[in-house]
Chain A
């Protein structure tokens, strides 16, 4: 099929219908989009037009830019002041726990090259706040455990974006050259340069946005300006070889601290982001290569187990360090099992940056995301029940 507009129409409509269906089983819409993508992708029904499939890279960059921009809001002075040390400790350590355990498992157990292990490790640090929030809502969970959990899932994708950007810079450098001892310093310098460059770009764009904002007269103009600047920011980041994720996150972070009415920029995006997100997940599913899944069972299993182990361990240490309640220490790790958009987006970036290993990385992450999204909400529910923040009759 090569009629792109027909394809887009079909994806959007089928996406909506499938999300409505899966809601009956209390799963997030994301899961429906992914499964739909796998079903209509080239591996099974082959209903997605080539042009749309080929533009997956562009769509994922746009969507990731928008997500990272939103995640930047975490860094408002106001918000940072309100986050307690428990949330900071736990979120940083559970992200690092997954990073370290998964990287180590891939390197030592599976004997994968270090740069691939590091990519898997960094993707493992992400969680899926939406899936977690849905469980909390469904069971009307309330209490200290729930508050801590919400705080952790809201901010830990920010840590993931930073971890992934640094890991990607390191992996790219290692991939491009054989590793020599003297090389490590240059690798770190490269990573540092990429972060600093992204920061300067994002900050500069935030200032530009704030200046042009003065001339904005309508809601429509506000949306156009916000989108325009996000795209410019992403485009320049790609052009200068900087991190799209970090540049977008810093744009959001600077804006939220510069502009009194910054929340309006973020709100304006909410009018248009849902169809883009839908498209992003369906395409992620469609890009899954079912053919290579068979060879990936060991890789997938290692990833599934060690990511969760890393999260549980990280939460444990973080909770001890910050003196959190014992229910938080024991069970919060289980509530962090879901994985979705941020992990998929990072995997899509890895896919385009590493032509050889990319497919393996991407297919593993899509497959594990489906599993995590199906099992994850049950784990979150288990944790909430154990922590006695929900009562199930």
Chain B
């Protein structure tokens, strides 16, 4: 079974130029901050924003260069004591916080493979792209579980 059969095709995606304020506005009524794909005008997937990236707003910038630095003490962050100003909502855009290294899958990937990837990399949802790298959907671990339960007749 390919992932395109079980994925949800309706995904909230954002552009790299979106302001933090707008981004948070979209998800303000959500229970959790989901994995949000970042796409170009032609719908090509270029990055993702997770709640971890949102936390980065509380840190000084340059996260991807820092990955290359050995022996770096982790920055102790107390998000309750951060003095970030209100204008950060307009100054920080998606481009500043999005992750360029992320796991994604092609729509023709098998469900077993998707589940394995989620298992190995501790992810609960992944963006799905077509052959040319355009975002076509998202798949969560519950989508896979639902499919299995339906197959066994436990869910309708």
A contact set with B: CB distance below 8 Å: 19, 23, 28-30, 66-67, 70-71, 73-74, 78, 128-130, 133-134, 136-137, 140-142, 147, 150-151, 153-155, 157, 216-219, 221-222, 261, 263-264, 266, 277, 340-342
What's the nearest-Cβ distance from chain A to residue B90, in Å?
17
Q: How far is the CA of A216 from the CA of B117 in the complex (A)?
A: 10
A154–B120 CB distance below 8 A: no
B60–A150 CB distance below 8 A: no
| Chain B residues positioned under 8 Å from A66 (CB to CB) | 70
B contact set with A: CB distance below 8 Å: 59-62, 65-73, 75, 100-101, 103, 116, 119-122
Indicate whether A74 sits within 8 Å of B68 (C-beta atoms), given known contacts A218-B120, A261-B121, A263-B101. Answer: yes
B61–A142 CB distance below 8 A: yes
A130–B69 CB distance below 8 A: yes
Show 29 residue pairs from A and B whose CB-CB distance is below 8 angstroms, ordered by the A residue.
A19-B73, A67-B71, A73-B68, A128-B71, A129-B69, A129-B70, A130-B73, A133-B66, A137-B75, A141-B60, A147-B62, A150-B65, A154-B65, A154-B68, A154-B69, A216-B120, A217-B116, A217-B119, A217-B120, A218-B119, A218-B120, A219-B120, A219-B121, A222-B120, A263-B67, A266-B67, A277-B70, A340-B71, A341-B70
Name the residue of chain A whose CB is nearest to the CB of B72.
A130
Q: How far is the CA of A73 from the CA of B64 in the complex (A)?
A: 11
| Chain B residues positioned under 8 Å from A140 (CB to CB) | 60
Residue from the list B66, B73, B103, B116 in contact with A29, Cβ < 8 A: B73
Q: What is the predominant secondary structure among interface residues of chain A facing chain B?
A: helix
Q: List 16 additional A-B contacts (Cβ < 8 Å) besides A128-B71, A147-B62, A217-B120.
A: A66-B70, A73-B68, A74-B68, A129-B70, A129-B72, A130-B72, A150-B62, A151-B65, A153-B69, A154-B65, A216-B120, A217-B119, A218-B120, A266-B67, A277-B70, A341-B70
Residue from the list A134, A157, A266, A341 in contact with B73, Cβ < 8 A: A134
B73–A73 CB distance below 8 A: no
List of 10 A-B pairs having minimum Cβ-Cβ separation, nearest first: A129-B69, A130-B72, A130-B71, A263-B101, A154-B68, A67-B70, A137-B60, A150-B65, A29-B73, A341-B71
Q: How far is the CA of A67 from the CA of B71 in the complex (A)?
A: 9
Q: How far is the CA of A150 from the CA of B69 in the complex (A)?
A: 10
What's the nearest-Cβ distance from chain A to residue B26, in Å?
27
| Chain B residues positioned under 8 Å from A341 (CB to CB) | 70-71
Residue from the list B72, B116, B122 in contact with A133, Cβ < 8 A: B72
B68–A136 CB distance below 8 A: no
What's the nearest-Cβ distance from chain B to residue A181, in Å?
41
What's the nearest-Cβ distance from chain A to residue B15, in Å?
20
Indicate whether A73 sits within 8 Å of B67 (C-beta atoms), given known contacts A28-B73, A29-B73. Answer: yes
Q: How far is the CA of A153 from the CA of B65 in the complex (A)?
A: 10
| Chain B residues positioned under 8 Å from A264 (CB to CB) | 103, 120-121
| Best-buried of A30, A66, A264, A340 by chain B (most CB within 10 Å) | A264
What's the nearest-Cβ distance from chain B to residue A340, in Å?
6
What's the nearest-Cβ distance from chain B to residue A48, in Å?
21
| Chain A residues positioned under 8 Å from B120 (CB to CB) | 216-219, 221-222, 264
| Best-buried of B100, B103, B121 by chain A (most CB within 10 Å) | B121
Q: How far is the CA of A341 from the CA of B67 in the complex (A)?
A: 16
| Best-buried of A30, A129, A151, A221 by chain B (most CB within 10 Å) | A129
| Chain A residues positioned under 8 Å from B101 (CB to CB) | 263
Name the residue of chain B whose CB is nearest to the CB of A262.
B101
Residue from the list A71, A78, A134 in contact with B68, Cβ < 8 A: A71
Q: How far is the CA of A317 from the CA of B148 in the complex (A)?
A: 64
Q: How far is the CA of A141 from the CA of B101 in the complex (A)?
A: 25
A130–B70 CB distance below 8 A: yes
What's the nearest-Cβ distance from chain B to residue A284, in Å?
12
